[in-house]
Amino acid sequence: SNIKKMETTVGRHRRVIMFPLPYQGHVNPMFQLANLLYSKGFSITIFHTNFNKPKTSNYPHFTFRFILDNDPHDERYANLPLQGMGAFSRIFLFNKCGADQLRHQLELELSAKDEPPVSCLITDASWHFTQSVADSLNLPRLVLRTSSLFCFLIYASIPLLDDLGYFNLSDNTATPLLDGLGYNNVPDDERLEEQVAEFPVLKVKDVIKIGFKKDNDGMGDIISNMVKQTKASSGVIWNSFKELEQLQLETIRRDIPAPCFLIPFAKHFTTASSSLLDQDRSFFPWLDQQPRNSVVYISFGSVAQVEEKHFMEMVHGLVDSKQSFLWVVRPGFVSGSTWLEPVPDGFPGERGRIVKWAPQQEVLGHEAIGAFWTHSGWNSTVESVCEGVPMICSPFWGDQPLDARYVSDAWKVGVYLENGWKREEITNAIRRVMADEEMRERSRALKQKLDASMIEGGSSYESVESLVDYISSF
């Protein structure tokens, strides 16, 4: 009905071309932004790979162009993995060889007579190759950065943190023991607990858990190019809000000359229409029966995987907590299993429900949900903040360990399970978060700040208005 309402606001004179990174955690915020810009009167064209193709029937109001991987026989990508970490190899490949195709498609759009003129290109920050293509066509490129501002600042400091020797320290909760350099002759495990001088909220071990460093395996290159081409862009859009990351915003404004727009997307649109998997809704009658704040919602996003022995620690930790739960176990989440083979007979029983994929935002907004056990992906984190739900954080890699630290130590709206998968610790963390009324109150207060930023005169409201004005000025 939202879309129906929007379709009546015809007379679209300007067009925006949007180009998401084709993974669930990146596609969701880009389509939320696309819906938002459409609601503000822009015509929307989406560039997308065939890989992880969105359900275009959910977007009859957008125009789609499929680019980069149209030839099913091209050996460079025809046989790349569709699932797991291997699926990310497309980020490297298309950043290297996508420029000509992108330029060709953009030239077609720019010269199209029967469509509104193109105001700008908005791409995911990790499509760093798009900046020089846009420059060559004199087309402004805006960046959508789908993680936090603090993550960007920390990623931008990876070379510095690497020079400090942090990545040579060993952290046996994250990775197999590395060959420590005996930095300062202090045993590694003591240094791991130290604050990072440049980012006092962080501990050294959080930095190690990012999992990639300066020029190690190609990921370091992607990150440094992402940072460089984001700084070179005409503007940056963040899935966040000013009151959450005020200091980081001030720092970033010194680093990036172009304007920044902080928009908490989950407050505008849900991600239901850009979901790549079908969302199970069959548990709602059960959830509706549960008392207020009594159910733990558990989900680890679209990519994370665990070993079976760790999965079993999770199962036992949950059972021992005696709390009710709704658990999203994505097929393939447990490595070596197609879905739920390892769970014991009788699990989950009456106390729990397990589904393959859920309408996450709607679940987080349900009054029966009392806590979110999450991998601390940034979308999940923002969605939880939007609904005022306290978190139990079990991050895997990348921005997740950083998000977990900010959630637990800076905003104090969650508990960080930082020693891996141990059933007693899981049980304790779940019980603590469910019973901690002060944490629940802080989560509620943070949500209220966010809600206040959404009304006229508030920071998030103004961000949307100034983004619309800015794009209209091109």
Active site residues: 26, 124
Q: Nearest approach, Cβ of 88 to ligand UDX (angstroms)? A: 10
Q: Nearest approach, Cβ of 391 to ligand UDX (angstroms)? A: 11
Nearest by Cα to 206 from 168, 163, 166: 166
Q: Which is nearer to ligand UDX, 29 or 140 (CB)?
A: 29
Residues that bind ligand UDX (rule: CB under 6 A) add up to a total of 25
Strand partners, 45: 17, 63
Q: Nearest approach, Cβ of 323 to ligand UDX (angstroms)? A: 19
Quote the CA–CA distance of 50 and 69 in Å, as a whole number: 6
**Residue span binding ligand UDX (CB under 6 A) among the ranges 128-136, 203-211, 305-313, 397-405:** 397-405
What one-character DSSP code corresponds to residue 214? T
Q: Which is nearer to ligand UDX, 29 or 98 (CB)?
A: 29
Quote the CA–CA distance of 126 and 133 in Å, as a whole number: 14
Angle, helices 459-472/437-453, rounded to nearest 10 degrees: 40
Using Cβ positions, the residue closest to ligand UDX within the complex turns out to be: 25
Instruction: Residue count of the chain, please give it.
Output: 474
Quote the CA–CA distance of 228 and 184 in Å, as a whole number: 32
DSSP code per residue over 374-396: E---HHHHHHHHHHT--EEE---
Q: Nearest approach, Cβ of 415 to ligand UDX (angstroms)? A: 18
Q: Nearest approach, Cβ of 158 to ligand UDX (angstroms)? A: 16
Q: Nearest approach, Cβ of 70 to ligand UDX (angstroms)? A: 25
- Binding ligand UDX by CB under 6 A: which of 156, 192, 328, 426? 328
Q: Which residues within the stretch 281-320 sit at the binding site for ligand UDX (CB under 6 A)?
A: 299, 301-303
- Binding ligand UDX by CB under 6 A: which of 398, 406, 418, 450? 398
Q: Which is nearer to ligand UDX, 421 or 470 (CB)?
A: 421
Q: Which residues within the stretch 22-51 sit at the binding site for ligand UDX (CB under 6 A)?
A: 24-26, 28
CB atoms within 10 A of CB 64: 14
Q: Which is nearer to ligand UDX, 388 or 398 (CB)?
A: 398
Q: Which residues within the stretch 55-114 sit at the binding site for ligand UDX (CB under 6 A)?
A: none
Q: Nearest approach, Cβ of 453 to ligand UDX (angstroms)? A: 20
Q: Nearest approach, Cβ of 147 to ligand UDX (angstroms)? A: 5
Q: Mask: binding to ligand UDX, 126-155, rule CB under 6 A, as x and -?
A: --------------------xx--------
The residue type of 6 is M
- Bridge-based pairing state of the strands 15-19 and 141-145: unpaired
Alpha carbon of 118 to those of 141, 171, 232, 234: distances in Å?
Answer: 11, 49, 20, 15
Task: Please give the structure tokens belonging to residue 217.
Answer: 């395996």
Q: What is the CA radius of gyration of the chain?
A: 22
Q: Which is nearer to ligand UDX, 131 or 379 (CB)?
A: 379
Q: Which is nearer to ligand UDX, 121 or 328 (CB)?
A: 328
Q: Which is nearer to ligand UDX, 301 or 370 (CB)?
A: 301
* 434 three-state secondary structure: helix
123 lies in the binding site for ligand UDX (CB under 6 A): no
Q: Mask: binding to ligand UDX, 224-263, rule CB under 6 A, as x and -?
A: ----------------------------------------
∠ CA 84-89-92, rounded to 5°: 150
Task: Find where tokens 């739960």 sit.
Answer: 325
First to last CA, the chain: 31
Q: Which is nearer to ligand UDX, 299 or 463 (CB)?
A: 299
- Binding ligand UDX by CB under 6 A: which of 170, 234, 248, 275? 275
Q: Mask: binding to ligand UDX, 329-368, rule CB under 6 A, as x and -?
A: ----------------------------xx-xx-------
Q: Which residues within the stretch 367-386 sit at the binding site for ligand UDX (CB under 6 A)?
A: 377-380, 383
- Binding ligand UDX by CB under 6 A: which of 400, 443, 453, 460? 400
Summarize as ranges the residues that interact with ligand UDX (CB under 6 A).
Answer: 24-26, 28, 146-147, 271, 275, 299, 301-303, 328, 357-358, 360-361, 377-380, 383, 398-400
